[in-house]
Each structure stands twice: as structure tokens, then as C-alpha cells.
Chain A
Amino acid sequence: MRLILQDRSALSTGHRQKVKLILVLVLFWFVIIGVRLLELQVLEHKKLKAEVLEQSQDLITVLPTRGTIFDRNGKILARSLPAASVFFSPVKGDSLEQQVQSIHRLKNLLDLKEQEIRKILNSIEKRKRFTWIKRKISLELAEKIRSLKLPGVYLLEENRRFYPHGQLAAHVLGGVNVDDFGLAGVEYYYNSLLRGEEGQQLIMKDARKREFFIETIKETKPGQDLYLTLDSTIQYIAEKELQRAVEKHQANWGTIIISLPQTGEILAMASYPSYDPNNFPPPENVMPNRAIQHTYEPGSTVKMVTAAAARELGQIDWNTHYDCSQGYLVFGGTMVRDHVRLGVLSFSQVFIQSSNVGTIKIAERIGPENIFQMFRAFRFGEKTGIDLPGEEAGIFHPLEKWRKSSLRVAIGYEISVTPIQMLQTLNVFATGGYLIRPRVRLEKPSPLTGTITAALEPPAGSQLILRPETVRGLVDLVLQPAVEVGTGREACLPGYLMAGKTGTAQKYDPELRTYSNKKHVASFAGFVPARQPLISMVVVIDEPRGQFHYGGQVAAPVFREVARKVLLYLNQAPQKLPENLILAKKETSIGGVTD
């Protein structure tokens, strides 16, 4: 509606003044508004904008959830779950007494020790703005603390790493620190893959501080899941048998590694003593993964490499015989002994009976160059490249540094190896001559990855270092008889064809500056079945102090027990029937009666 002023002059003076006054007031009001607007929009713009943003928006860093670690069958070995951390940040105006009181109220609830309380109170007294009270507590406990509404006590959402199987595969898994950063094992080796990437979110809040809109500024990249080649059941069997053996023989430590020889996949890697990764870090003495980090002189287990050198490079005939009747041999200024006088032995018998004298005679015949060349082909003195941190390379001197006594390499002295190197060596014989890198990560997990079968073809990247006919001969005529009638008889499992080699090495005593007669490393390396092996295994027991110390007495029985249980688990029937086995015959009559 439009109003038309008909007659300006018709307005009285009084009216005109009133209108002017109103106009002035309106103008004045506009000026005040304008000044205030100028103040808010221009002069205090930055400060006010920041305040508004602080009140209505939150830019938060979103921590990624660390990836889960599974075994080859999809069993959870490590997983991160939500937890809460409690921290203290003083409230303005609160006295020191009030702050201390808040901490004391949490003492019992959080099971804080005196030392922890002192540390927190020290920090408060120093007027620090932020002090951790307890990290990674359960959500239930966090809720209890929240309900107390203690001034200055706050909760922060975090993740906590859980290892539901406790000690199982502890040395392979390793562990993480309080900030979920991998410090050992696959947790360390694959940390960047497991950890993921942090993200950022902008949270919009209303006047009541309720979140009503979340905008993702940077997408959080959760950590990738990791599938291991380990089979938790086989790992458990290995750990239990190892613990039993170490305790029975009062040994320092022991280790067992089991693999699928054709692929290099590690099925179990046990070290004892062990630790619980839920309480990481453990004491230093149990921390090392001895399967890859401990080097030792292997003794007779490497005689299989000497035998390979003799057949492959030395052209030694199977029928050549060696006089070992004296039982000892002075060689390069040192005396080499056999455990008993063994008489005249054929080439095969030298290794089956594990004669040091016979092996040295064979090594002398084929020469140090050939021995060196063969040991070098097996990559002694080099890391296997297993995907675990801290692997040792062992010691294998270059040929230029060899003395005459260095030929004792042929019987497993003057060389130091890791158990994983011995497994890689053993797998060359189990696979028909291929050197295959061992690994613990399953490359392509699928619903069928858990299936354990004897693979027919070695993986790409493996290297053929022995002729298949050489390997076949050594397995049939040396390694198999070594278990059936040789020093490895205790490893023999009725019904199965097995191949392997025992090892007993005297340990060097730095105080006596000579090899000790009391300290030994007992080992056994073998695979089963001897043809198309399903599993290969290395057992090492350090310093057995009981009645026995030979590899054939200490390590071979462990191999047998582990193999028996693992084959049972894999539903691997015996290849030949044990003589004392009575078979039930199943007959069905018309009446359905069965015997």
C-alpha cells in the first residue's frame, strides 16, 4: 500500500519537529549499529571469528585403527580395540589441594602405585598443563571415572593392542609401545602397513555443543590387516614341546622352526623362554627371537652341505670307504674326534653315523675351494632375508682368511649360523635343490590359504643350487638312513619316511679359550615325508645339562613328538603301517552288524 503525502504544508510545526526528532533518533540508532558492526566485522573480526569457530567447530585428528594380524587360517593373533586414557589438566581457580585430592580419589580405581602417584603429583606441582594418569584402560573403567566428574580429570579415546592367545607366537608378533608403534617382530617390520594414516575431521556443533555435522577434511587410512604364514595350532604344538624339552634338559634356551619347504612359508617359529606381548616390553633375556637372532656353531647338521659338495663338486663315489677306526684325527693343529670308534665307513655311512673323522677326510679330498664354493652357494654368512627385523647373518669367513683348520667348516665348526639359515639349508634338500627365502607374511590370503599341502613347484625367485639327482641320492642314501639307522633314530616316527641330520656342537668357552666339554648345542634338522615333504623342521637346544647332550638324544625326540602331532593335525596318514598296528576290519552284513 502506498501513502501519498497530499499537502506538505499541511503539517504543523509541532509535527515537523517530532518527525525530525524521530529521524535523528533513527539516524543515531543506525550510526550506533554501524559503529558496532564496524567493530565486530572489521576491528575485532579475527578474534571473534576464532571464538566463533572454537565454539561451533572442532578440528580433530582421527587416529587410524591399527590393522589386525591373522594366522593363515584367519585366527586373530593381534587386534586393536578401543580403550581410554586418563589425563589431568588443572582447572583455573582450583587449589593445589583440590587437584591432589582428585588424583588420590583415582588411586584405588586405577590401581596406581605410590611411584606413579608421586610422578603425577610432581608434575602437578610444577604446574604442567598436561599429565598422563593412566594409559589404555578399559571402557568400563573409563565410564566409572567419567561418572565421578572429578575436576581436571579427562578421558581420551585411544586404541589398545590385544594378543588374545597370550604368549603364542610372541617372538614373531613382537609388540607395540604405548603409542601403538611396532617395536619388534612383524609389528615392527610391517609397522607402516599396519599403522595406517591419520585423518582430520571438522565437527560442527550447535549452541548446546551437540555435534550435528561432521566434515572429513582428510580421510583416515586404517591400517591394513596382515595375514601370516603361521598356523596357530602348529605354533602351539611347537611351543609346548619346546618348553617341555628345555625344562626337561635344564637348557638355557631352545628354538623350533617349522616350514612348508616348497614355498618357504614358516608354519611355526617358537623360542623359549618366551613372553606375553600383552605386557610389552618383556625382560631383555627373553626378548630376542633366537630363531633368527642367535648364531651358533651348528656341528654335524651342516655335514649335509659337505656331502652335497662331495657329490656335486668333488665327484666322490658312493662306494669310496674311509678308515675311521682310530676314532680321532689330528688336523690343522686341532684334534677331531668321533663320539665312538666307527671302523671303516662308506661315503654314506660317514654321514649316517656322523663321523667327524670321515667327514674331514672327505673334505680334505675335495679341497677347501670346493667346500667354500658349496657353503657360499648355500648363502652362509648372509641373511636369509626373512621378513622379520634383527636377523643375524652369522659368520662364514672368506676363503682368503682360511687357515688349515678352517676346513672344520665341513663338520660345523669355524662357522656360525642362525637356526633360520639351517632351515633354509635343509629346505634345499627337501625341495630337490632350490634355495628359497623363508617368509612369514602370506602374500595372497584367500579362503583356501589355510590349506597345507605339499606344493609341487618352488616359488618364483627361488634358485636351483644343487642338481635334483644329487639331492635325490643324498636324501635316499644319507638323510633318510640317518633317521632310520643312524644318529637320528630317536627322530624316527613309525609309519613315516623321514629324512634328517643330527648335530652336536661343543661351545667355545671364552674363559678357558677352548671348546668346552660340558657345554653343547644339540640340534636336529629334518623333514617329513622324505619324498614330497609336507613339513621341514629345525630344533635347537642350547646347553642341555641333564643326562644327555647329543642332538640325537635331546633334539631328535623333540622333532619326533612335534612331527607326530603336526602330522596328526594335518590328517597325514602314515605311508607304511607300523608293524605292531592292529587294523580293525570293517564289514557290513545284511543285518547291518559291523565288526
Chain B
Amino acid sequence: MDINTAQELIVDAKVENLPLVNEFVEKVMAPLEPSMKVQMQIDLVVEEIFVNIANYAYGEGQGKAILQVQVTDSPPAVELVFMDEGMPYNPLDREEPDPEQSLEERKIGGWGIFLVKKNVDEVTYAFSEGKNILTLRKKIS
């Protein structure tokens, strides 16, 4: 099994850095030649997590987001690890919105984490050494 080395990106946790983060992930994943659909799903997951960190982790203050990406080719899969040093927050604890809800009942927000869970195979949260650590795994078929 050939395992590529994990690659790391450290950026200011600001929404305007989203294209930079997407580009980094696309570059690391390129050897797997993911389909357009898989790439779109990964973009979506990366966006929702990164934007959550950018908007909420540091409150009114500023800080960094750290992203480690590792691909394996046998079986083809990607692991994404997002870290921040903001307030301890487990996004997986948040109450999930209900896709059956009508227009009138439907809340405006809360769909980000829902989309993350729908588009990866595994997501785990840990708080360790002052860092929120969210680890996502997805098989690339």
C-alpha cells in the first residue's frame, strides 16, 4: 500500500481564504483523479468546515485554521483533519435540521454540518491540547 505523506496548510481563518483552501485540497487529491462529483462533494465538505471555523471559532477575534490532507491509493481514500485553537466546539453535537421540514418550518441555517455528514464516510471530533480537531474520511470510488 502506497501512502502519501500528509500535507498541511495553515491559513488565517477568514472566509475569503476559502478558494485557497479548496485549491490546496484539490492539488493534494489530484493523484487520485477524483470524478467531478467526488471533487464537488469534497469541495462542499471543506467549505462547510472551513467556513464554520472562519465564522465562529475565534468569535470577534482572529486565528488560524490548520488543515492536514492525506490521500491513500489502496484503497483510494482521503483523510482531512481540520484544527483550530478557538472555543471548544463540537459541531457534531448540533441538532440536525430535518430535510422533511416544510418551507414554513424550515430554519435558515444549520445545513452545513448536515451536508458534511452526508458526503463523507466518517467524521469524528476531539478536543486536545487546546485544539478543536475534526477528522473526516471519505472513500474515493
A pairs with B:
no
